[in-house]
Structures are given as C-alpha cells and as structure tokens.
Structure 1
Amino acid sequence: LREGRGSSDSSAMEPSPRHDSGYPNFDLETEMMDLHRAPVAGIDEAGRGPWAGPVVVAAVILDPDRIPQDLNDSKKLTPQAREDRYEEIMATARVAAVIGQVARIDRDNILQATFWGMRTAFRTLGVLQAVALIDGNAVPKRFPGTACPLVGGDGRSLSIAAASIVAKVTRDRIMVRLAKRYRGYGWENNKGYGTPEHASGIQRHGVCPYHRRSFAPIRRVLALSAETVPAGP
C-alpha cells in the first residue's frame, strides 16, 4: 500500500490487484491494521449526482469479530437489504454520518463538499489513531490522518461497503422526509436524481430551497424563469 495524508493526488497507488476478487472482503483492513496497529475506517458518500438534497458521507469502523453478513456495495442491494444491513452496522460498528447541506454544495461545489464530509466524518468517529480506506481515487487535502484511496472500494472493502450503506440509507431517509414537505418532485422515488418525474415536477412547481442551484439543469431552469419575467415599466 502507498498511503496519503491529506493528498488529493489521484495518481496515488491503491492496493494491489490481488485483493480485487469482485466481492468486498476484510483483507485490506487486516493488512492496514497489521501495518499501523490501528483500527481502519471505511469512508464513502451518497448523493454526489442528484439535482436536489444533501450529500451524505459516512465513516465506519467495523468490529472484526462482529462483521454483519452480506455487506456489499449499497447499489447492489435491494432497499430492504440496505435497511437490514444498516441496522446491523449501527448495532455492531463505530459509525459517523455527516450531512453536507445544499448551501455548502452550492458555495464550495459538490467535490469540495464531499471532501469536507470525509474529513468531518473521520474526525467525528473520535478514534484519533485510526487510518482510513476512502472510496475513490483521491484523499482530500488536509485529511486528518493516514488514508488510502481505493477505486471501486465499495465493492472491494467491507468497511467501505458498510459506509456506502450507511450513507445511502441516511440520505434516502432524508429525501423521503423532504418529499413530504415538497410534494410533486417524486423525491420519495427518485431521491432527488434527475429523472423525468423530477424534471416534470420542476416544470410544474419551479425550484425549491433544496435544489442545487450550482448544478447545470437547475441553473438553466432559473435562467429561463428570469428570462420570462415581464420587464418593468
């Protein structure tokens, strides 16, 4: 392993291919725990691409003796399986979930909001000596510890898979609650992603406070709305 400390260099070497069996396992965590004599946190996010709602980042330290069964990349699990695994993770692991609100996304951009969430979630775990496996190809700048990026990590590392489940379930629950306040966008189904149902809702109801105004589809809607406002006398 070549690890980074607060580096966003995407050329950092990730773990060797021998670990990539197509299913998540605990091999990388064991290797890093042996190397650093410290627990390992998996870090992942949910919600970088939607038009609306927050981005959620989770950090999870699994108990090696109580790892829930059937952990996998959250995208490969059914909603009910995600909910079941979520409850098991919360009952057996150390977990931190951080919400990057729309205002932060629009101010800093989605990548920086996600990196902020990664740093904050890791700190929130409260395990100062921990090291991290981060899903993706970069370690955020100013990351408060030793970390290793892992492309496709939610399908390779059980800790990252657990973090992906926590982040996804947390965000989905937020979007279902918001759907009750802001009806007509179909967020209970599309979770804020750019579906035809969501686009139709924007045409009927306009843009609401939880839409990401920095995202191009929302910017276009706002620009068109401004163009159709009648000119003053």
Structure 2
Amino acid sequence: MGRTALVVGGARGIGLATAHELVKDGHRVAVTYRDSTPPADISSVHCDVRDTASVDDAFAHVERELGAVEIVVVAAGVTRDKLVMRMDDEDFTDVLDANLTGAFRVAKRASRAMLRARWGRLIFISSAVALRGEAGQVNYAASKAGLIGVSRSLTREFGSRNITANVVAPGYTETDMTASLTESQREHMRSQIPLGRAAQPEEIAAAVSFLASDGAAYISGAIIPVDGGAGMGH
C-alpha cells in the first residue's frame, strides 16, 4: 500500500521530479508551491516555509485530502549569491530562513503524525556545495550544510520511533535554476565532474525514492551524494 507523501517545494525541478517518482512508487503525493505555477497533475497547496502558520495550514490541507503525512521531502530552496564582502545581513538571514529554518518548521510539523504512527521518512535536499563550499554562496552553503545537523539530530530524537531522517546532496543538475548559467559556466561545472555531465532531476529523485522506501528502513542520519563523483572525499 502506498503512503501519503508531501514534497515541499515540489512545483518544479528536483522537487517535481521527486513528486512524480513517488507517484510511480504508488504513494499519494502532494506538493507545495510558493511563487511557481503549481503542477496540473499532482495535488498542490500553497506554502511559504518562512511562515509557521503557512506550514501548518499546508499540512492540515494535505491531511484532510490525503491522510496523515508519512513521507516528507524538503526540496524548497532559494539563492541570493554574492561575494561575502558584498553580502548584507538580509542576504544571509533570508536564505537561512527559507532553506534551513524552513526545513525545521516543516520537520517539526511533520513529526506530530509520524510520532503517533511510529513511522516516518524525513528527507532533506541539500547540495554538494554544503560539503565543499562555493565562492559567492556563503549563505546558501551554510543553509544546506545546516540540514546535515538537522537530520542527524532528528535521527537521534526520533530513531526509536522508526522515523528516519536523511540528506540527499545533489551536484550540478539540469534545472530551471541552472538554465540561466552561460555555456562557459556550464562547461566549467561539467569539467569538475568525473562523470563529465550534469545530473537529471530524475536521478536525484531516484535516490529520494529509495530513502522513502521500506528497503531504506535502517538508513538514517546519512548523506547521500548524487553528484557524479564531484564531491569525493567530502
């Protein structure tokens, strides 16, 4: 039997590919969106992870429509890239609020039903940048690295209740976010990858699908790199 899954930030890119993969796995799937157009083929609900009430409302909507949420994928994320000397406080704190504190808000709300059911999957989409850093992305790297601490702490808090928490760390992936790069920038990024190409969103989704499955019941607090070998040793 399928479970109820919620992909936070699932309107496009890796999040949308993940939602489609979970549908193929037989789950009842909903996605949240903020500024993007919601997908037409999957249940959608507006949610701003920067606002606790909005997160609560989104969960309540999915619970009414599909049942208690058992699988949560946090794929929402924003960037505001600048060199640190040009980055102001708001550039830093706003990215952390959306990418890291937002994930905390989602995990806290999700834990209610998971603790009652004594079953759950919390999966956070981080980034290879969290492990190796990147010039101009101090805020983004910090927010994505923070997800590792979140997932490992949740593993220690929730592990006895059969709730796992894991991180997927994608490398350079072909999405709307990377489509704005110049060809020379894309070529430079590909040159750093042993497999010599960018990932497709579906390849990230496949790792999430596995972590959400019963077959991954004994994996928790892990970082799963899906980066073509770019982050080896980190």
TM-score, length-normalised on structure 1?
0.32
TM-score, length-normalised on structure 2?
0.31
The structure with more radius of gyration: 1
Q: Looking at both structures, which has the greater relative contact order when contacts are Cα pairs under 8 Å and sequence separation is at least 6?
A: 1
